[in-house]
Amino acid sequence: MLYNLREYHRPRDLDEALRLLQRPEIRTVPLAGGTDLVGQRNPDVEAVVDLSELGLDTIHTEDGVLRLGAMVRLQTIVEQLGDAFGGLLAEAAHRMAGWNIRNVATIGGTLAAGKVDSPLGVALAALGAEMAVTGQDELIPWPGVPAGGLQGRLITAVELRLAEGKVGTAYEQVARTPVDQPIVSAAAVVREVESGTLSARVAVGGLLASGLKLLDFDIQWPDLSGLDALTADINPADVKSDYLGRPDYRLAIAPVVARRALSAALARIGYETEAEGGTAS
Ligand SMILES: Cc1cc2nc3c(=O)[nH]c(=O)nc-3n(C[C@H](O)[C@H](O)[C@H](O)COP(=O)(O)OP(=O)(O)OC[C@H]3O[C@@H](n4cnc5c(N)ncnc54)[C@H](O)[C@@H]3O)c2cc1C
């Protein structure tokens, strides 16, 4: 609960929402699904601005870019974007939480709450997602925050460029149970440049204490040695440590999870490693 909440606003206009959020005299924050905000019990929050009437819940594609409004619910991603990016977005959204939470929580709230190591956070990074933020002309690559932070600002949309040609994607994680939050996770996106030549991006969550580990590299099939750089330059002191996993475990398992994701992404466009019983098509 927000025990010191005194005002609730539900504006229909973005400028009005920003005016309310930027008032110096009363600490006002955006309310999306509220699943993270309400649980924080932050005594400093005195007013909320409900974003649900701002028309930020649309999904559309234009000029090869998929644009998701910040108020698109996680369950909407599951239901409507199963075909996008080989199903990576829908799978990651599905893994975020159970049905009840997914019906309320939004993509904008997830990113604003800084859920970098969450399944959706990892998948969006692998896909090269960018955020549209009020007061900022340039899109901001995820994960990232605008200079000066999000105070008094809103994420209005998340944009993803749709790639042409053969693109394979996959998400893998290790967790205590299949429905638990990941200890270490990886999303891989591979694009065929020409037959036997591919570009790859792998995003790994739960490895670095400071956030996601991103790795871009080229593949001359079947040489996947570019992935070796994933942990090569990591100082063990920089590895995440919490009740879910010790640093040495995370450092050891991250390359395994990343390789699984990479192999699965490759297999989806016909490049199967020998361990999976095939060769490139
Ligand atoms: C039972 C339960 C299970 C959960 N499981 C998980 C889990 O497994 N993994 C996980 O990562 N999270 C989990 N969460 C946390 C939470 O559901 C997610 O972080 C959720 O995606 C937040 O989205 P929301 O729309 O509810 O955000 P809100 O709670 O409304 O907002 C989150 C924060 O972002 C700000 N904000 C919201 N929208 C915007 C915007 N457009 N622009 C700027 N700022 C904004 C808010 O002011 C607030 O500070 C769980 C929560 C619950 C209650």
Neighbours of 165 (CB within 10 A): 9
Q: Per-residue confidence at 276, pLDDT binned at 50, 70, 90? A: low
**227 φ, ψ to 5°?**
-70, -20
Q: Per-residue confidence at 277, pLDDT binned at 50, 70, 90? A: very low
Same fold, 59-161 and 167-276: no
Q: What is the pLDDT of residue 278?
A: 46
**43 φ, ψ to 5°?**
-70, -15
CA–CA gap between residue 203 and residue 184 (Å, rounded): 11
CA–CA gap between residue 198 and residue 267 (Å, rounded): 13
Round the average pLDDT of the chain to a whole number and report it: 94
Taking only the tens place, the pLDDT of each residue in 49-108 is 999 999 999 999 999 999 999 999 999 999 999 999 999 999 999 999 999 999 999 999
**What does pTM read for this prediction?**
0.95
Closest CA to 167 of 87, 54, 248: 87
The highest-level CATH class for domain 59-161 is alpha beta
Whether 279 has a pLDDT exceeding 70, the answer reads no
Q: Average pLDDT in the 224-236 region? A: 95
The set of protein residues with a Cβ atom below 6 angstroms from ligand 1 is 29-37, 39, 51, 70, 96-97, 101, 104-106, 108-110, 112-113, 115, 118, 150, 154-155, 181
User: Among 3.40.50.1980, 3.10.180.10, 3.30.390.50, 3.40.50.2300, what is the CATH number of 167-276?
Assistant: 3.30.390.50
Taking only the tens place, the pLDDT of each residue in 150-198 is 999 999 999 999 988 999 999 999 999 988 999 999 999 999 999 999 9
Neighbours of 218 (CB within 10 A): 11
Q: What is the pLDDT of residue 275?
A: 60
**Domain locations in the chain as residue ranges:** 7-45, 59-161, 167-276
Q: What is the pLDDT of residue 95?
A: 96
Task: Report which protein residue has its CA nearest ligand 1's atom 27.
Answer: 109
Whether 223 has a pLDDT exceeding 70, the answer reads yes
Q: What is the pLDDT of residue 146?
A: 81
Whether 281 has a pLDDT exceeding 70, the answer reads no
- The more confident residue out of 122 and 180 is 122
What distance in angstroms lies between residue 28's CA and the mean position of ligand 1's atoms? 17
